[in-house]
Amino acid sequence: MILKNLWRRKTRTLLTLLGIAVGVAAVVSLSAFGEGFASGFERIFSTSEADLTVGQKDAIMLMISSVDESVGDEIKMLPGVQAVNGVVFGMVQMPEAPYFIVMGEDLRGFSIQHYQLVAGEPITGRKQILIGKITAKNFRKEVGQTFLLNDVTYRVVGIYETGTSMEDGGAVMSLDDAQRTFDKRRQVNYFKVKVEDPRQTDQIKKAIESQWGSEVTVIRSGEATKQDEMFDLYRSFGWFLGVFALLVGGLGMMNTMLMNVFERTREIGVLRAVGWSKRRVIGMIMGESVSLSILGGVLGVLLGIGLTSLARLSPAVESLLSGVYTPTIFVQAIVVALLLGTLGGLYPAWRAAQLQPVEAMRAESGASVNSGWLMKVMAKFLAGGALRNLWRRPTRTLVTISGIGIGVGFIVALMAMSVGMESTFGKVTTAGDADLVAEQAKTADLSLSQIDERLADRLRGHPAVKSTSKVLFGIADAPGLPYFFLLGLDPSEDYIQHYRIKEGRMFERKSEIIIGRFAANSLKKGLGDVLRVSGTSLQIVGIYENGSVYEDAGGTISLDAAQELFNKPGKVSLINIQLKESDRPRVNELVKELGAAFPQLLIMRSTAFMESMQDFASMTVMINSLVMLTMIVGGIVMMNAMLMSVFERTQEIGVLRALGWRRRRIVGMIVVESLALGVFSTLAGIGIGVGLNYLFLLVPGMGIFLTPEYPPMMFAQVLALAVVLGVVGGLYPAWRAAGLRPVEALRYE
């Protein structure tokens, strides 16, 4: 009986299934991408061949770790150590893949065996490279061909396969070549250590920590680290995003079940009259709701797998965000779908159970109306009332607005946080009245940018350049804050002039630090206190308030101290360039001129720097994808609501057609109602989004990094989304309403 009831309204049931399925598909695909991203990095940084991994002391991730090569040479001399392999990790921005991973490996070491050749031969000399199987396919390369990387030409000598998409979508070169390519001479990101007797692993770990504990961190294979916490965050982030889409679909299902109860009022009354108990009625409605959830969940899992496979056709996605499915992902998706199905059916089931048999049997079906009531409604229509029409079913309208509003609100929250992050981070990179900003060319991440600081002096020698400021950016470890942003600056350069020190003074020695007000409050530190940053003790001599969260939640030290702390001698992350007043009008010309003179740098206008950052570009793509997802789910929910409105007003529409209303006028009426519903949903979504942002700000430690901004253009985009949702959601119901014949519509029960 349950399936029969659902089949009575095939279109409505199908739309509800699609709404739930798209939400479940979002959970499955986004969770799979998050799992693939996290597990991919885990496999890169934790290999079964090594017993220990040695990285820089307190580095948040091994990809930004830096250790002197001499440390590895000394570790080799320890009793019980069989082999030590240094590894360089690089990430390059390429047209075919914005995050292209390159590994530098010791050709005589044990870890090179991890890359199983499927074609060609091992590397035997300089400027030779192995490429992964996915790279060979996406870049259309074969053994013997050339491969351009950071403007250096390498010869492809082999193609490998490891089974990890991130590795198979990247490349491997000799350790020496990697050190030259990524300017890490005599340095590596980390060491892989193999011991002679596994039973001595802990003993050797303690020996390394005892001798080099102030410089390195030693991780045993399989041991949990702070890096693993970040990977777990990636895993949960995809699931978190998908649940919002599923929540919208769940509220759409509640809408469907409510309409189901409305139009079957007399039927439920008959069942109650022939002896059905309230519990049995509740069971029937809940059974229909749960059945929709199960069917939608199964369809969503299949759709999610299909979407993941479709996304993997993109070279950038295939290597970096390859979907990895775990039983937990499918269980979570189905459980959440069932939970929403249960919650979505509770109120409609309760409402059905409260119907009194006599009153229910007297009621007309949702599709029919008595003539007196119809005349009153027609009078309202003739007065023009999309709002009145929506308010005739206030519960259904409010549920629809809530469902779509949650999806829109989530998008508003993400967009506002993205704009806020871009704006506040932009203040860091463009401070000091900079006209131009330079970073390392073709680097995929600012944290990986390494520029020879001598280039700043060469830039300063250009006739149009007034001054330059060197900036070293890093993320350090400080007890009490999840992330401590640390800048290394030369106090004699212009960048430092924008610091507003409220207490104390500017640093003067390598052992001194100034920190932001938020960092001081979070760490409960004041002037004269000692702060441990990545294992180094620094005395706080000043507290500033710059108005940029990334600065106010971190600290600043001298450039040479930062280079020593991050083990980047002679390197900087950015160079801020201030032009002479007379040359500022030709800033675009100077961008090209300086770019040609310094090919190792990516030079751009300071106002365009954030747009060029790959991280923010990727965030924009993600948000656009979520907007599209919201449009799909919201459009389905809207269409479902408007279809229900057409079903229940069939006789009414028949009367209007009989009175001479043309099809165009009927279509206009339904579309206007749909647009009104879209606008109300969007306004509710803006309120929900602002509320979500407020809640995010309350998250201890992390909230300050999520400070939102609400530019007018964002609201214009959201309102445009409302118009699109209204049109998409109303077109099919409007067409269906206009297609009703007056005689048949008047006879409709």
pLDDT at position 464 is 92
Q: Is residue 410 within 8 Å of 244, Cβ to Cβ?
A: yes
DSSP secondary structure string for all residues of 16-79: HHHHHHHHHHHHHHHHHHHHHHHHHHHHHH--TT-SEEEEETT-SSGGG--EEHHHHHHHHTST
509 phi, psi to nearest 5 deg: -125, 165
Q: Is the pLDDT of residue 640 over 50?
A: yes
pLDDT at position 708 is 84
Cα 671 to Cα 402: distance, rounded to the nearest angstrom: 20
Give the tens place of pLDDT for each residue, 708-728: 888 888 888 888 877 887 787
Q: Is residue 361 within 8 Å of 263, Cβ to Cβ?
A: no
Cα 31 to Cα 10: distance, rounded to the nearest angstrom: 31
CB within 8 A of 583, min separation 6: which ones? 463, 464, 590
CB within 8 A of 398, min separation 6: which ones? none
pLDDT at position 502 is 93
- Comparing 29-38, 551-560, 722-731, the range with the smallest average pLDDT is 29-38
pLDDT at position 118 is 93
pTM of the predicted model as reported, rounded to 2 decimal places? 0.69
pLDDT at position 62 is 80
Helices (H), 454-575: 454-460, 517-523, 549-552, 559-565
Q: Is the pLDDT of residue 5 over 60?
A: no
Give the tens place of pLDDT for each residue, 492-514: 898 888 899 999 999 999 999 99
Q: Is the pLDDT of residue 457 over 80?
A: yes
Mark 35-66 as b/e (b = at least 16 C-beta within 10 Å).
Answer: bbbbbbbebbbbbeebbbbbbbbbbbbbbbbb
pLDDT at position 258 is 63
Q: What percent of the chain has pLDDT over 90?
A: 16
pLDDT at position 4 is 60
- Higher pLDDT: 1 or 483? It is 483
pLDDT at position 689 is 86
**Residue that has been written with the tokens 């990247």 in this structure:** 170
Q: What percent of the chain has pLDDT over 70?
A: 76
Mark 644-678 as b/e (b = at least 16 C-beta within 10 Å).
Answer: bbbbbbbbbbbbbbeeebeeeebbebbbbbbbbbb
pLDDT at position 374 is 39
Q: Is the pLDDT of residue 384 over 50?
A: no
The pairing of strands 67-68 and 216-220 is unpaired
Q: Is residue 128 within 8 Å of 105, Cβ to Cβ?
A: no
pLDDT at position 670 is 82
CB within 8 A of 438, min separation 6: which ones? 451, 455, 459, 574, 575, 577, 594, 598, 601, 602, 603
pLDDT band (50, 70, 90) for residue 284 = confident
Q: Is the pLDDT of residue 734 over 50?
A: yes
pLDDT at position 296 is 80
**Residue that has been written with the tokens 């041991």 in this structure:** 223
Mean pLDDT of the chain: 79
Q: Tokens standing for 695?
A: 């809640």
Mean pLDDT (whole number) for 730-745: 74
Beta strands in 276-320 (DSSP E): none
Q: Is the pLDDT of residue 382 over 90?
A: no
CB within 8 A of 361, min separation 6: which ones? 266, 269, 270, 273
pLDDT band (50, 70, 90) for residue 432 = low
pLDDT band (50, 70, 90) for residue 365 = very low
Q: Is the pLDDT of residue 450 over 50?
A: yes
* 3 state DSSP class of 182: coil
Helices (H), 541-613: 549-552, 559-565, 587-597, 609-612
The pairing of strands 512-516 and 536-544 is parallel
Q: Is residue 325 within 8 Å of 37, Cβ to Cβ?
A: no
pLDDT band (50, 70, 90) for residue 458 = very high
Give the tens place of pLDDT for each residue, 259-279: 666 666 667 777 777 777 888
439 phi, psi to nearest 5 deg: -130, 170
Cα 316 to Cα 134: distance, rounded to the nearest angstrom: 10
Mark 72-100 as b/e (b = at least 16 C-beta within 10 Å).
Answer: beebeeeeebebbbbbbbbbbbbeebbbb
Q: Is the pLDDT of residue 256 over 80?
A: no
CA distances from 461 to 383, 410, 454, 457, 721 (A): 75, 49, 11, 6, 50
Give the tens place of pLDDT for each residue, 197-244: 888 888 998 998 888 877 888 888 766 555 666 666 666 666 666 666
Mean pLDDT (whole number) for 78-94: 88
**Residue that has been written with the tokens 């990636």 in this structure:** 234
- Higher pLDDT: 658 or 744? It is 658
Q: Is the pLDDT of residue 386 over 60?
A: no
Across 295-304, 539-548, 639-648, 714-723, the highest mean pLDDT is recorded for 539-548
- Higher pLDDT: 651 or 716? It is 716
pLDDT at position 489 is 92
pLDDT at position 267 is 72
pLDDT band (50, 70, 90) for residue 654 = confident
Cα 352 to Cα 355: distance, rounded to the nearest angstrom: 6
Q: Is the pLDDT of residue 375 over 60?
A: no
- Comparing 27-36, 98-107, 530-539, 685-694, the range with the smallest average pLDDT is 27-36
Ramachandran category for residue 364: left, alpha or beta (phi over 0 → left; psi -120 to 50 → alpha): beta
pLDDT at position 39 is 72
pLDDT at position 728 is 77
- Comparing 17-31, 103-117, 229-243, 370-384, the range with the smallest average pLDDT is 370-384
* 3 state DSSP class of 260: helix
